[in-house]
Amino acid sequence: MTGRGDDRGMSVRVKKKRGVKASSRRWLERQLNDPYVRRAKTDGYRSRAAYKLIEIDDRYKLLKPGQAVVDLGAAPGGWSQVAVERTGSTADAVGVVGIDYLAVEPVAGATILEMDFLDDEAPQKLLDTLGRQPQIVLSDMAAPTTGHRRTDHLRTMHLCEVAADFAIRTLRPGGHFLSKTFQGGTENDLLTLLKQNFAAVHHVKPPASRGGSVELFILAKGFKGRGPGTADAEMSDADEHDDDEAGPLG
């Protein structure tokens, strides 16, 4: 990855100010001292989250030139930027379509829909815009936090399940699905569904995920297809990798 630089000796402290919560001050200090935040600015990515996809893709070789990609929960656009770079999507031949209910600044080479993926018409709108079946479905969706850990977990798991359902209904055989989840939070029913429909399922925690975060990603590789004669997963020897720290599933 580019733009790494030397981050030694660059620690920044934020002075205490009346009326500013300690938690807000700690968050600002973490942002200012985060090497991925600085690298994102240098490399022109919308957020540090871009490096999570970069690191996962460097390891598992998901994104390839000419592929069609759907990016669920695209804001602020970092994952779409990476997908465009690695698939070669252009304004004349768009292969990356994202969606988010938040407004996203235009991403060159991608089309971003401003609508809620949970709206009934959203899945078909994505497919119509893409114009073909996707080979990759990405989801960095997370529910807005309420402060109640169990509630937040259930809401984000629901988004992961909805994303997985979309992937199974739309992916081309051999395609891949990558979604945000939480450590210890991928429910058995979802894991069973993914194992039934994909050649391999992994839990991955890329280095760009903060060490203290419960964030985790579930990667399902080699979609088997939706009917007889479509189960050719088109897997290559390069697709067989050991898992990251979380270890393999099943």
Highest-scoring range by mean pLDDT, 125-129, 142-146, 228-232, 237-241: 125-129
pLDDT at residue 36, as a whole number = 80
Report helix, strand or coil for 119.
Answer: coil
Q: Which residues are catalytic?
A: 180
CA dihedral sign, ordered 144, 148, 151, 157: positive
Annotated binding-site residue? 128: no
Residue 27 has pLDDT above 70, yes or no: no
**Digit-coded pLDDT (tens) for 91-118:** 999 999 999 999 999 999 999 999 999 9
Evaluate whether residue 246 is within a structural domain: no
Residues 64 and 172 in one domain: yes
23 with 86, same domain: the answer is no
Q: Which DSSP letter does residue 237 get?
A: G
pLDDT value of position 16: 54
Total count of domains within the chain: 2
Give the Å distances, CA to CA, from 196 to 192, 237, 250. Answer: 6, 21, 11
57 is in an annotated binding site: no
Is the residue at 173 inside a domain?
Answer: yes
In a domain, 9, yes or no: no
User: Is 237 labeled as ligand-binding?
Assistant: no
25 is a domain residue:
yes
Q: Are 97 and 168 in the same domain? A: yes
For position 61, what pLDDT does the model report?
97
Burial class (CB in 10 A: 0-12, 13-18, 19+), 175: buried
Given a cut of 60, whether residue 43 has pLDDT beyond it is yes
- Mean residue pLDDT of the chain comes to 82
Is 152 annotated as contributing to ligand binding?
Answer: no
Give the domain range for residue 63. Answer: 46-239
231: left (phi over 0), alpha (psi -120 to 50) or beta: alpha
Do 30 and 148 fall into the same domain?
A: no
Predicted pLDDT of residue 97: 98
* Assigned domain for 101 exists: yes
> Which of residues 45, 65, 85 is at a domain's end?
45
pLDDT of amino acid 18: 55
Residue 216 phi/psi, 5° resolution? -150, 160
Q: Are residues 142 and 20 in the same domain?
A: no
CB 74 within 8 A of CB 98: yes
Question: Among 190-194, 225-229, 235-239, where is mean pLDDT lowest?
Answer: 235-239
Residue 79, annotated as binding a ligand: yes
Within a 13 Å sphere around the CA of 171, how many CA atoms are in the beta-carbon half?
A: 31
